[in-house]
Structure 1
Amino acid sequence: YFSMALQALVDHKGRFTNINVGWPGKVHDARVFKNSGLFRRLQQGVYFPDRKITVGDVEMPIVILGDPAYPLMPWLMKPYTGALDTEKELFNYRLSNCRMVVECAFGRLKGRWRSLLTRSDLSQTNIPIVIAACCVLHNLCESKGETFMVGWEVEANRLAADYAQPDTRAIRRSQRDALRIREALKASFQSKQ
């Protein structure tokens, strides 16, 4: 079967604020991201307003959160990997807590529109349109406080297990500024225990 990647930016209320859909599911997440308009705008510094805060002695921009598959950038924080000390474990724990909003948004999207988890008779041209429409409808449901039945997500998880997605490899590339920002956040998290 043909799988298609949906890469999305999610706000703090679980709504999709930017989506990128259409790449084959077997393409690495980092490659999809680096070829997106979102990546270009973030790199150019034009996606978010130029608001910075200082943490410790490090000035940092608004950041987005990603999993280990994504590159560490000054505006993209991801968890530490490898052997972790307690400070890095705490950083990862707090980052993971923040990322739960994203996981819940995808869970609710798949729960509401379980057809996204099954084979489709649509053409590869129309599938991205349907996925984008589901994201828009999801945002409307979330904004209006529409009921979401827990059983929907349970059923979605059962369906998803029938259609395993291709593996992706983590790309490990870090920039000096991104490392400093992540270290400053880690130190800040330590002081807020």
Structure 2
Amino acid sequence: MGICSSGKIFTYVFIGYPGSAHDSRVFSASPLVSYIQRYGSQKFFPTPEHHLIGDSAFPLKQWIMTPFKKHNNLSSIEKRHNYLLSADRVCIENAFGILKGRFRRLKFINCYSISKSVEIISASCVLHNFCYINHDKWTTEFEDNKQTIEDGVLHRDFDRQQFALGKEKRGRIANILSNNVI
């Protein structure tokens, strides 16, 4: 699991979760979630207006914005919000695609040693950041047949208060975006 800046620099990676697991399960097990639950999102984000952007596999919280569920009849405001959120979320998908394009070995890591795999992936992320910081940008992305995750995923760490705060914030953002022509 990774978080990146708009400049495709990885700012957080969680590596080493064994096996193939759903995004929400990896997210729930990450030290990032434990840290935010223990110390609050204000220790991680400069203001309450800052947040992460996740796809529908992630839980809606005040500090992570997710799209409105597609199975509902979406208003034009909600559709625009989803479109703009998706456009911003493409950044992390591009960052991973570029990482796998530059370091093609990542597609064929020997999984017999999880610790060695973690070292290889970590080193690749560091080198990716080093290259980007030094303006050695890679233009070819690795094409991957990504599995699409449907809306309506149940989240184990479902937190009603955080969900309500996230829902309220997402609604405010959607209204602001609908009033501003981008």
TM over 0.5, yes or no?
Answer: yes
For structure 1, which segment, 89-98 or 111-120, has the greater mean C-alpha deviation from structure 2 after superposition?
111-120
Q: State whether structure 2 residue 2 is matched by structure 1 residue 19.
A: no
For residue 189 of structure 1, report the CA deviation from its aligned partner.
0.6
Against the structure 1 CA distance between its residues 64 and 147, is the aligned structure 2 distance closer, same or farther, given a 3 Å change threshold?
closer
- Report the equivalent of 1:65: 53
Contact 2:109 2:117 in 1 (8 A): no
Contact 2:56 2:149 in 1 (8 A): no
Runs of 5+ in structure 1 lacking a partner? 1-6, 53-60
CA distance in structure 1 between the partners assigned to 2:171 and 2:149 by the alignment: 29
Runs of 5+ in structure 2 lacking a partner? none
For structure 1, which segment, 95-104 or 121-130, has the greater mean C-alpha deviation from structure 2 after superposition?
121-130
- Report the equivalent of 1:129: 119
Contact 1:42 1:75 in 2 (8 A): no
CA RMSD of aligned residues (A): 2.3
For structure 1, which segment, 65-74 or 94-103, has the greater mean C-alpha deviation from structure 2 after superposition?
94-103
- More strand by proportion, 1 or 2? 1
Against the structure 1 CA distance between its residues 131 and 180, is the aligned structure 2 distance closer, same or farther, given a 3 Å change threshold?
same
- Identity, % of aligned positions: 30
For residue 147 of structure 1, report the CA deviation from its aligned partner.
4.0
- Report the equivalent of 1:41: 35
Among 115, 126, 133, the alignment partner of 2:105 is 115
SS of alignment partner, residue 48 of structure 1:
coil
Q: State whether structure 2 residue 164 is matched by structure 1 residue 176.
A: yes
CA distance in structure 1 between the partners assigned to 2:5 and 2:137 by the alignment: 19
For residue 165 of structure 1, report the CA deviation from its aligned partner.
6.7
- Report the equivalent of 1:57: none
SS of alignment partner, residue 24 of structure 1:
coil
SS of alignment partner, residue 16 of structure 2:
strand
* Paired residues, number: 170
CA distance in structure 2 between the partners assigned to 1:120 and 1:28 by the alignment: 21
